[in-house]
Chains A and B, each alone.
Chain A
Amino acid sequence: MSKNLKLKSARAAKDMSQKDIADEVGVTRQTINAIESGDYNPTINLCIAICKVLGKTLNDIFWEDEGNE
Protein backbone atom coordinates (compact mmCIF):
# COMPACT_ATOMS: atom_id res chain seq x y z
CA MET A 1 0.00 0.00 0.00
CA SER A 2 1.23 3.49 -0.79
CA LYS A 3 1.79 6.20 1.77
CA ASN A 4 -1.12 8.47 2.55
CA LEU A 5 0.58 11.81 1.98
CA LYS A 6 -2.76 13.61 1.76
CA LEU A 7 -3.52 12.75 5.35
CA LYS A 8 -0.08 13.86 6.41
CA SER A 9 -0.33 17.18 4.60
CA ALA A 10 -3.86 17.82 5.89
CA ARG A 11 -2.65 17.13 9.39
CA ALA A 12 0.31 19.44 8.94
CA ALA A 13 -1.97 22.14 7.53
CA LYS A 14 -4.01 22.02 10.72
CA ASP A 15 -0.82 22.04 12.76
CA MET A 16 -1.77 18.83 14.50
CA SER A 17 0.49 16.00 15.56
CA GLN A 18 -0.33 12.34 15.14
CA LYS A 19 -1.05 12.21 18.86
CA ASP A 20 -3.55 15.07 18.60
CA ILE A 21 -5.52 13.33 15.87
CA ALA A 22 -5.29 10.00 17.65
CA ASP A 23 -6.69 11.50 20.85
CA GLU A 24 -9.51 13.21 18.98
CA VAL A 25 -10.44 10.07 17.07
CA GLY A 26 -9.94 7.64 19.95
CA VAL A 27 -7.18 5.46 18.56
CA THR A 28 -3.50 5.09 19.34
CA ARG A 29 -0.84 7.26 17.75
CA GLN A 30 0.64 4.13 16.20
CA THR A 31 -2.61 3.55 14.30
CA ILE A 32 -2.49 7.03 12.74
CA ASN A 33 1.18 6.46 11.95
CA ALA A 34 0.34 3.13 10.27
CA ILE A 35 -2.40 4.78 8.18
CA GLU A 36 -0.05 7.55 7.06
CA SER A 37 2.69 5.14 6.16
CA GLY A 38 0.27 2.85 4.33
CA ASP A 39 0.72 -0.11 6.64
CA TYR A 40 -2.89 -0.21 7.78
CA ASN A 41 -6.15 0.06 5.87
CA PRO A 42 -8.67 1.79 8.18
CA THR A 43 -12.38 1.05 8.36
CA ILE A 44 -14.85 3.52 6.92
CA ASN A 45 -15.85 4.62 10.43
CA LEU A 46 -12.30 5.56 11.28
CA CYS A 47 -11.86 7.30 7.91
CA ILE A 48 -14.96 9.40 8.57
CA ALA A 49 -13.79 10.24 12.10
CA ILE A 50 -10.40 11.37 10.79
CA CYS A 51 -12.03 13.44 8.04
CA LYS A 52 -14.29 15.15 10.58
CA VAL A 53 -11.35 16.05 12.77
CA LEU A 54 -9.41 17.45 9.82
CA GLY A 55 -12.43 19.18 8.27
CA LYS A 56 -12.02 17.34 4.97
CA THR A 57 -14.07 14.92 2.92
CA LEU A 58 -13.30 11.26 2.32
CA ASN A 59 -12.35 12.12 -1.24
CA ASP A 60 -9.86 14.71 -0.06
CA ILE A 61 -7.99 12.33 2.21
CA PHE A 62 -8.55 8.77 1.11
CA TRP A 63 -9.33 8.80 -2.59
CA GLU A 64 -6.39 7.65 -4.68
CA ASP A 65 -6.30 8.94 -8.24
CA GLU A 66 -4.41 7.05 -10.93
CA GLY A 67 -1.21 8.98 -10.57
CA ASN A 68 -1.15 8.46 -6.84
CA GLU A 69 -1.94 4.74 -6.55
Chain B
Amino acid sequence: MNKKGLDEMQIQTRNKIGNQTFLMLLYLLMIDAGLYGFGFRWVDYPANVMLIITICAGIYVIRLIKANAYVGPSTEKEKPLLKILLTALVAVVVATGTIVLLKTANFSDANQINDMSAPIMFIAASVGIVIAVVTIVINRIQNKDDRE
Protein backbone atom coordinates (compact mmCIF):
# COMPACT_ATOMS: atom_id res chain seq x y z
CA MET B 1 0.00 0.00 0.00
CA ASN B 2 1.05 3.56 -0.62
CA LYS B 3 2.34 5.07 2.58
CA LYS B 4 3.19 8.47 1.18
CA GLY B 5 -0.22 9.79 0.14
CA LEU B 6 -3.70 9.46 1.51
CA ASP B 7 -5.26 6.06 2.01
CA GLU B 8 -8.36 4.94 0.12
CA MET B 9 -10.90 6.15 2.67
CA GLN B 10 -9.17 9.51 2.91
CA ILE B 11 -9.18 9.89 -0.88
CA GLN B 12 -12.91 9.15 -1.01
CA THR B 13 -13.58 11.63 1.77
CA ARG B 14 -11.41 14.29 0.15
CA ASN B 15 -13.14 13.88 -3.20
CA LYS B 16 -16.56 14.12 -1.60
CA ILE B 17 -15.67 17.24 0.36
CA GLY B 18 -13.98 18.75 -2.70
CA ASN B 19 -17.06 18.24 -4.85
CA GLN B 20 -19.34 19.75 -2.22
CA THR B 21 -17.05 22.73 -1.70
CA PHE B 22 -16.75 23.33 -5.45
CA LEU B 23 -20.53 23.38 -5.79
CA MET B 24 -20.78 25.70 -2.81
CA LEU B 25 -18.23 28.03 -4.41
CA LEU B 26 -20.15 27.96 -7.68
CA TYR B 27 -23.50 28.73 -6.03
CA LEU B 28 -22.04 31.49 -3.86
CA LEU B 29 -20.43 33.16 -6.88
CA MET B 30 -23.68 32.89 -8.82
CA ILE B 31 -25.67 34.34 -5.92
CA ASP B 32 -23.13 37.14 -5.67
CA ALA B 33 -23.42 37.84 -9.40
CA GLY B 34 -27.20 37.78 -9.12
CA LEU B 35 -27.18 40.21 -6.22
CA TYR B 36 -24.84 42.45 -8.18
CA GLY B 37 -27.29 42.31 -11.10
CA PHE B 38 -30.08 43.47 -8.80
CA GLY B 39 -27.95 46.37 -7.67
CA PHE B 40 -27.04 45.04 -4.25
CA ARG B 41 -23.34 45.39 -3.49
CA TRP B 42 -22.34 43.94 -0.16
CA VAL B 43 -18.61 44.45 -0.91
CA ASP B 44 -16.91 46.05 -3.91
CA TYR B 45 -15.74 43.91 -6.81
CA PRO B 46 -12.31 42.42 -6.09
CA ALA B 47 -13.02 41.85 -2.44
CA ASN B 48 -16.30 39.96 -2.83
CA VAL B 49 -14.83 37.26 -5.06
CA MET B 50 -11.70 36.99 -2.95
CA LEU B 51 -13.81 36.74 0.18
CA ILE B 52 -16.00 33.98 -1.23
CA ILE B 53 -12.99 32.01 -2.49
CA THR B 54 -11.16 32.43 0.81
CA ILE B 55 -14.19 31.33 2.83
CA CYS B 56 -14.72 28.28 0.60
CA ALA B 57 -11.03 27.36 0.78
CA GLY B 58 -11.13 27.72 4.55
CA ILE B 59 -14.21 25.55 4.85
CA TYR B 60 -12.58 22.97 2.56
CA VAL B 61 -9.43 22.75 4.66
CA ILE B 62 -11.30 22.67 7.97
CA ARG B 63 -13.61 19.91 6.75
CA LEU B 64 -10.64 17.93 5.42
CA ILE B 65 -8.87 18.13 8.75
CA LYS B 66 -12.05 17.33 10.67
CA ALA B 67 -12.63 14.27 8.50
CA ASN B 68 -8.98 13.21 8.88
CA ALA B 69 -8.37 13.43 5.14
CA TYR B 70 -5.63 16.04 5.16
CA VAL B 71 -2.55 14.09 6.17
CA GLY B 72 -1.91 10.56 4.99
CA PRO B 73 -0.61 7.59 6.99
CA SER B 74 3.01 8.67 6.82
CA THR B 75 5.41 6.74 8.98
CA GLU B 76 8.09 9.39 8.87
CA LYS B 77 8.73 11.47 11.93
CA GLU B 78 8.20 15.08 11.04
CA LYS B 79 9.64 18.16 12.69
CA PRO B 80 6.80 20.67 12.71
CA LEU B 81 8.71 23.34 14.64
CA LEU B 82 11.45 23.52 12.03
CA LYS B 83 8.88 23.53 9.26
CA ILE B 84 6.92 26.35 10.92
CA LEU B 85 10.06 28.42 11.45
CA LEU B 86 11.15 27.95 7.84
CA THR B 87 7.68 28.81 6.56
CA ALA B 88 7.55 31.95 8.70
CA LEU B 89 11.01 32.95 7.49
CA VAL B 90 10.07 32.46 3.84
CA ALA B 91 6.82 34.40 4.38
CA VAL B 92 8.69 37.35 5.91
CA VAL B 93 11.24 37.35 3.08
CA VAL B 94 8.52 37.20 0.40
CA ALA B 95 6.48 39.95 2.08
CA THR B 96 9.52 42.21 2.46
CA GLY B 97 10.58 41.53 -1.11
CA THR B 98 7.12 42.32 -2.41
CA ILE B 99 6.94 45.61 -0.51
CA VAL B 100 10.41 46.65 -1.68
CA LEU B 101 9.58 45.68 -5.25
CA LEU B 102 6.32 47.63 -5.20
CA LYS B 103 7.95 50.72 -3.74
CA THR B 104 10.91 50.75 -6.11
CA ALA B 105 9.03 49.79 -9.28
CA ASN B 106 8.19 52.56 -11.70
CA PHE B 107 4.85 51.18 -12.74
CA SER B 108 3.11 51.96 -9.47
CA ASP B 109 3.08 54.50 -6.70
CA ALA B 110 1.07 54.75 -3.54
CA ASN B 111 -1.84 56.48 -5.28
CA GLN B 112 -2.21 53.84 -7.95
CA ILE B 113 -2.46 50.90 -5.58
CA ASN B 114 -6.03 49.69 -5.27
CA ASP B 115 -7.44 50.56 -1.88
CA MET B 116 -9.15 47.20 -1.61
CA SER B 117 -5.90 45.26 -1.56
CA ALA B 118 -5.24 46.05 2.09
CA PRO B 119 -8.64 44.83 3.36
CA ILE B 120 -8.34 41.73 1.19
CA MET B 121 -4.97 40.88 2.67
CA PHE B 122 -6.25 41.64 6.14
CA ILE B 123 -9.29 39.41 5.67
CA ALA B 124 -7.19 36.62 4.16
CA ALA B 125 -4.78 36.77 7.08
CA SER B 126 -7.67 36.77 9.57
CA VAL B 127 -9.25 33.76 7.92
CA GLY B 128 -5.86 32.02 7.95
CA ILE B 129 -5.49 32.61 11.68
CA VAL B 130 -9.04 31.34 12.30
CA ILE B 131 -8.30 28.21 10.24
CA ALA B 132 -5.08 27.60 12.18
CA VAL B 133 -6.86 27.91 15.53
CA VAL B 134 -9.72 25.66 14.42
CA THR B 135 -7.19 23.12 13.16
CA ILE B 136 -5.43 23.01 16.51
CA VAL B 137 -8.74 22.59 18.34
CA ILE B 138 -9.90 19.83 15.99
CA ASN B 139 -6.61 17.96 16.32
CA ARG B 140 -6.75 18.11 20.10
CA ILE B 141 -10.34 16.89 20.19
CA GLN B 142 -9.57 14.05 17.77
CA ASN B 143 -6.51 12.96 19.71
CA LYS B 144 -8.49 12.98 22.93
CA ASP B 145 -11.72 11.30 21.80
CA ASP B 146 -10.90 9.10 18.84
CA ARG B 147 -9.20 6.25 20.59
CA GLU B 148 -10.41 2.72 19.84
Judge: A and B partners, yes or no: yes
Q: Which residues of A contact B (CB under 8 A)?
A: 17-18, 22-23, 25-28, 30-31, 33-34, 40, 42-43, 45-46, 49
A34 to chain B, nearest CB (A): 6
Residues of B within 8 A of A42 (CB): 8-9
* Closest B residue, CB atoms, query A27: B7
B121 to chain A, nearest CB (A): 35
* Closest B residue, CB atoms, query A42: B8
Counting CB contacts under 8 A, is B3 at the interface?
Answer: yes
Counting CB contacts under 8 A, is B73 at the interface?
Answer: yes
Decide yes or no: A28 and B68 within 8 Å by CB, A17-B148, A33-B146 being known contacts.
yes
Do most interface residues of chain B lie in helix, strand or loop, or is the interface mixed?
Answer: loop
Residues of B within 8 A of A40 (CB): 9
Residue pair B8, A30 in contact (C-beta under 8 Å): no
Q: Which residues of B contact A (CB under 8 A)?
A: 1-3, 7-10, 68, 72-73, 75, 146, 148
Residues of A within 8 A of B10 (CB): 28, 31
Residue pair A23, B1 in contact (C-beta under 8 Å): no
Pick the residue among A17, A33, A49 that contacts B1 (CB under 8 A): A49
Residues of B within 8 A of A23 (CB): 73, 75
Residues of A within 8 A of B148 (CB): 17-18, 33
Across chains A and B, which 8 residue pairs bring their CB atoms closest together, nearest first? A26-B1, A27-B7, A31-B9, A28-B73, A26-B3, A30-B68, A40-B9, A31-B7
